[in-house]
Chains A and B, each alone.
Chain A
């Protein structure tokens, strides 16, 4: 079970009020977690990563275990604490105001 925290505007879009818990098949990576997230919440397709290239949208970042994972390979294993559900994968908006 993987825990995912969304920024508030994406929680509203997905009709969720708190942290999301996902079952992910195979190794827990950014790609596999986002695949599972988008499969369950299709309205999030395109809001975190590009529809076609699957690249992370530039103003969103991925944090976990007090580390910035934004520039890790999407296929790199997530930290064990995230894979085990002890810590969430945090998707957060860049602090650029707006």
Chain B
């Protein structure tokens, strides 16, 4: 019987939640990496036992953890079980250095800071890890200050794909409230050279040559916090999502506005429709129905909690514009949590499961595509990310 493994990153460690295909009874393990922020964990599609985790701290910087046994044991790649002279572990996995070399890199320029002045690029943390679809040892890392890195040796070493940061528009990129983060990475299963990424607040970008060159894909976005509504960059994209079976169709939760593109991001149009508010962070697509999408509307950019004190997932079965509130099993009064941008995921069981975590520490599951919900756990630290693996 199939089962699922839910990987939860929180403000103070990580948790692994496992269940069979019914998704009714859960085993909860953790916390892992206690006391550290775990921005993201994700498993390799090519080897479900290979997991990567971004463990980070304002005090002590960035660490990448790796598991090769489905999360039972972890190592800093090159360290852990490998033992050096004297019996001590060896290896490091936390070195993210922007490529400024004349041969392969781009000069480290400046970006726009909150006050409009220019500010130097500074590495702060890894927001998102995206394992390759085909190679367990290849993984991409979206980082703050915004750049994309890749490892091809199981996260032992990292190299920047400098064509993105060096696109030329960098001086117009600016941090959102959470920092200038590259938070979304989507790999195209049908075109290995095509990758989509999104940055807050620069916008979405696409490469068609494996990361060597990039183009902004923000036409159609409207953002009142930048002076030129037709600006190529500067938009605060919160998250993008795509159904793997239909790689040209993208959905976006922008700062305000839910957007859709049918041409691989070359143009966008708004599909917020009848949502009670179109501010939000998460967006995801049903595993088997590419026109079924999910968002969690948040009251406003100043009030980062759900609208009217009610935790409601909104589902559209028409690819946007027409939305229905999904409330069964979710608190409908006195609820003031947020759902952060990487904190929603879908499994690929026949009856698609939907998962999301809140800043109040709850992780909810719907085993029936959103019709009904129940909490898997209620009292974790604030949830930063949720991913799910569907296992045989």
A45/B94 in contact, CB under 8 A: yes
Question: Interface size for chain A: under 10, 10 to 19, 20 to 34, or 35 or more residues?
Answer: 20 to 34
Flag whether B61 is at the interface (Cβ < 8 A).
Answer: yes
Residue interface mask B49-91, A partner, CB < 8 A = 1:
0000000011111110000000000001011000000101111
Q: Please report which residues of chain B, range 92-110, place their CB below 8 angstroms from some CB of chain A when the two chains form the complex.
A: 92-95, 97
Residues of B within 8 A of A8 (CB): 35
Which of B60, B61, B89 has the most CB atoms of chain A within a 10 A radius of its CB? Answer: B60
B76/A93 in contact, CB under 8 A: no
User: Would you give the shortest CB distance from A64 to chain B, in whole angstroms?
Assistant: 19
Residues of A within 8 A of B88 (CB): 40-41
A interface list, Cβ under 8 A from B: 7-10, 12-15, 40-43, 45-48, 51-52, 57, 59-60, 93-94, 98
- 7 pairs, CB–CB < 8 Å, chain A vs chain B: A13-B63, A42-B89, A43-B89, A47-B60, A47-B94, A57-B61, A59-B59
Known: A12-B34, A47-B94, A52-B97. A41 touches B59 (CB 8 A): no
User: Would you give the shortest CB distance from A10 to chain B, in whole angstroms?
Assistant: 6
B36/A9 in contact, CB under 8 A: yes
A42 and B89 alpha carbons, distance in the complex (Å): 8
- Identify B86's interface contact among A13, A40, A60, A94, CB under 8 A: A40
Residues of A within 8 A of B89 (CB): 14-15, 41-43
- Closest A-B pairs by Cβ, 8 of them: A47-B60, A59-B59, A42-B92, A43-B76, A45-B92, A93-B59, A46-B94, A43-B79
User: Would you give the shortest CB distance from A44 to chain B, in whole angstroms?
Assistant: 8
Residues of B within 8 A of A14 (CB): 89
- Identify A43's interface contact among B34, B57, B91, B97, CB under 8 A: B91
7 new A-B pairs (CB below 8 Å) besides A14-B89, A40-B86? A9-B57, A13-B63, A43-B63, A47-B63, A51-B97, A57-B61, A60-B59
B59/A46 in contact, CB under 8 A: no
B91/A42 in contact, CB under 8 A: yes
- Identify A46's interface contact among B36, B62, B79, B90, CB under 8 A: B62
A60/B60 in contact, CB under 8 A: yes
Nearest neighbor of A12 in chain B, beta-carbon distance? B34
User: Would you give the shortest CB distance from B123 to chain A, in whole angstroms?
Assistant: 9
User: Would you give the shortest CB distance from B349 to chain A, in whole angstroms?
Assistant: 36
B60/A10 in contact, CB under 8 A: yes
Q: Please report which residues of chain B, range 202-249, place their CB below 8 angstroms from some CB of chain A when the two chains form the complex.
A: none
A9 and B57 alpha carbons, distance in the complex (Å): 10
- Identify B95's interface contact among A40, A51, A98, CB under 8 A: A51
User: Would you give the shortest CB distance from B12 to chain A, in whole angstroms?
Assistant: 9
A43 and B89 alpha carbons, distance in the complex (Å): 8
Residues of A within 8 A of B59 (CB): 7, 9, 57, 59-60, 93-94, 98
Nearest neighbor of B63 in chain A, beta-carbon distance? A13
A15 and B74 alpha carbons, distance in the complex (Å): 12
Residues of A within 8 A of B97 (CB): 51-52
A61 and B60 alpha carbons, distance in the complex (Å): 11
Residues of B within 8 A of A40 (CB): 86, 88
Residues of A within 8 A of B35 (CB): 8-9
A91 and B92 alpha carbons, distance in the complex (Å): 20
User: Would you give the shortest CB distance from A30 to chain B, in whole angstroms?
Assistant: 17
A8 and B35 alpha carbons, distance in the complex (Å): 10
- Identify B60's interface contact among A15, A41, A57, CB under 8 A: A57
A46 and B64 alpha carbons, distance in the complex (Å): 12
- Identify A42's interface contact among B57, B58, B79, CB under 8 A: B79
Nearest neighbor of B76 in chain A, beta-carbon distance? A43
Nearest neighbor of A10 in chain B, beta-carbon distance? B60
Which of B58, B61, B63 has the most CB atoms of chain A within a 10 A radius of its CB? Answer: B61
A93 and B36 alpha carbons, distance in the complex (Å): 13
Residues of B within 8 A of A46 (CB): 61-62, 92, 94-95
Residues of B within 8 A of A51 (CB): 95, 97
A45/B95 in contact, CB under 8 A: yes
A15 and B61 alpha carbons, distance in the complex (Å): 17
Residues of B within 8 A of A15 (CB): 89
A40 and B89 alpha carbons, distance in the complex (Å): 8
Which of B59, B62, B92 has the most CB atoms of chain A within a 10 A radius of its CB? Answer: B59
Known: A42-B78, A52-B97. A59 touches B36 (CB 8 A): no
Residues of B within 8 A of A60 (CB): 59-60
A48 and B61 alpha carbons, distance in the complex (Å): 8
A40 and B94 alpha carbons, distance in the complex (Å): 16
User: Would you give the shortest CB distance from B88 to chain A, in whole angstroms?
Assistant: 6
